[in-house]
Amino acid sequence: MSKLMISISGIRGVVGDGLTPQVIVNFAQAFGSYVGSGKVVVGRDSRVTGPMVKHAVFSGLMAVGCDIVDIGICPTPTVQMAVEHLKARGGIAITASHNPIQWNALKLIDASGLFLNEAQGKKVIQMAEQNHFQNVAWNQVGKIESNDEAIEHHINSILKLDLIEPERIASQKFKVVVDCVNGAGGTILPQLLDKLGCEAIFINEEVTGLFPRAPEPLPENLKELGKKVKAIKADIGFAVDPDVDRLAIVSEKGEPLGEEYTLALVANYVLQRNSGPVVVNASGSQVIDDIAAKYGTEVIRTKVGEIFVAQKMKEVKAAIGGEGNGGVILPELHLGRDAMVGIVLVLQQLALAGGSIAELHASLPQYFQSKNKIELPDLNVSSVLDEIIKKYQNQKIDLTDGVKILWQNQWVQIRPSNTEPIIRIYSEARTVEEANALSFELIAELEKIIKKN
């Protein structure tokens, strides 16, 4: 993997080996010139390299005449919401999300609080590559202003939602365990759960950026959380990633429900109350289709990537949407993935349902995914995919992202990576065994095609 990756959503790299102050300043100058002089909101996650990256970002932005609103350490969705609320020209979230500790990144946000789309992102990259900046004179260099109200505004905006009844949640006196992986979650979740009358027990809530485990909230990384939930007989466990846009749930039995079920549980509640389609990416579980069908609404699928989902949600006036990796997007709050709103919507539903989270989960259709990858030698990927399409031409095929072949209760998706010479093979079925079998069938087919070429 290259140690500096430039994409429409920003730049990402290993600090000291690709992600240097020079690169960061250059990109910040390009972004600042693109949005025009004016207010730009900057926030960051808790990574130890955050202060270095932040000061380079400040320097680049100020040099092109942008005034910085520094909202400090906070979740990425808090930066997005602050941009919108403060009517800024744009924003930068300094975070490498769930990437390991040596990484950091800039995520670029436009004036509406959405991540840059393809056209906007390409323009900024071009400006960075061509050093196409408007550096300003000494008396027009930007200023820095600190703002410590963004987190409070985020919390209050969630508690004011029509879908949420804070008193009803508080009446349940939920006992909740939260694992923040020492990321930015510790800046907001204690206050939020306190306002909901929960007895909240935190693990890894120090905002140090020293991740005590792999930071992605995958089931295999949630063992400590599961043990704690069981040991203290909590009602539920929550895990978030370092920049708090992904949410995973652990049942009262200490078992992770799998990230696909975060959005499934939330959709199951929101669709009872609000009408409109559901928007998810092409890799999301079929459980979403089953839930949408129950409420008589449709599911629209997009390419993988938060901005594709968010843009489509805006276009079709979706009721709910997001990504199967624990990314919940509630449009009436904000068009971005937000673990905070996910937590509150799950607690609201739990308060209404009266049973346990394991019971609520068991009431939904059960699907299992198998995620695999194979290496792709120097070959024409699209000709490989064409052969697969031909082989399965009698099945339903979806080409939204890669090639997805669908049967009644199972599917398999083949997606070449944009950054590595690999093909990802994801499958889903009613049992783990069926999902694995489906992946292995496709891997065998792909290997046959690759060998032949």
Enumerate binding residues for Mg ion (CB under 5 A).
97, 241, 243, 245
Q: Among 212, 223, 160, which residue's Cα sits nearest to residue 186?
A: 212
Smaller CB distance to Mg ion: residue 110 or 243? 243
> Least distance to Mg ion from the beta carbon of 45, Å?
8
Q: Are strands 39-44 and 67-73 parallel, antiparallel or unpaired?
A: parallel
Could you tell me where the DSSP H helices lie in 86-221?
118-129, 150-159, 166-171, 189-195
> Residue 139: exposed, middle, or buried by beta-carbon count in 10 A (0-12, 13-18, 19+)?
exposed
Minimum distance of Mg ion from residue 83's CB (angstroms): 17
Residue whose entry in the numeric block shows the structure tokens 């997001």: 322
State the catalytic residue, choosing from 97, 285, 370, 439.
Answer: 97
Q: What is the DSSP letter of 332?
A: T
Q: Which residues pair with 41 in a beta bridge?
A: 69, 91
Instruction: Compare residues 235 and 259 and give the one whose CB is closer to Mg ion.
Output: 259
Q: Considering beta carbons, is residue 243 or 401 the nearer one to Mg ion? A: 243
Q: Please choose, from the candidates 205, 204, 243, the residue with its C-alpha nearest in 3D space to the C-alpha of residue 224.
A: 204
**Is 84 or 245 the residue whose CB approaches Mg ion more closely?**
245
Report the amino acid identity of residue 239.
A
The least CB distance from residue 386 to Mg ion, in Å, is 34
Shortest reach from residue 98's CB to Mg ion, in Å? 5
CA distances from 27 to 32, 68, 143, 246 (A): 8, 15, 19, 26
Which pairs with CB-CB distance under 8 Å and at least 24 residues apart come from 383-387?
383/453, 384/423, 384/446, 384/449, 384/450, 384/453, 385/414, 385/416, 387/449
> Which C-beta is closer to Mg ion: that of 70 or that of 245?
245
* Lateral strand order in the sheet of 396-398: 368-375, 422-429, 411-416, 403-406, 396-398
**What is the Cα Rg of the chain in Å?**
22
CB of 241 vs Mg ion, minimal distance in Å:
4
CA distances from 305 to 97, 282, 308, 374 (A): 14, 10, 6, 21
Q: Encode burial over 63-78: b for 16+ CB neighbours within 10 A, e otherwise.
A: bbbbbbbbbbbbbbbb
Distance CA(261)–CA(312), nearest Å, equals 21
Nearer to Mg ion, 419 or 453 (CB): 419
Residue 107: name the closest of 120, 123, 122, 91 by CA. Answer: 91
In angstroms, give the least distance from the CB of 243 to Mg ion: 4
Indicate the residue among 133 and 308 with the shorter CB distance to Mg ion.
308
Residue closest to Mg ion, measured at CB: 97
Collapsing DSSP to helix, strand or coil, 24 comes out as: helix
Burial environment of residue 450 by CB neighbours within 10 A (0 to 12, 13 to 18, 19 or more): middle
- Residue 153 φ/ψ, nearest 5 degrees: -65, -40
Nearer to Mg ion, 97 or 187 (CB): 97
Whether residue 363 lies in the annotated active site: no
Distance in Å, CB of 242 to Mg ion, minimum = 7
- Shortest approach of Mg ion to residue 416 CB, angstroms? 23
Annotated catalytic residues are: 97
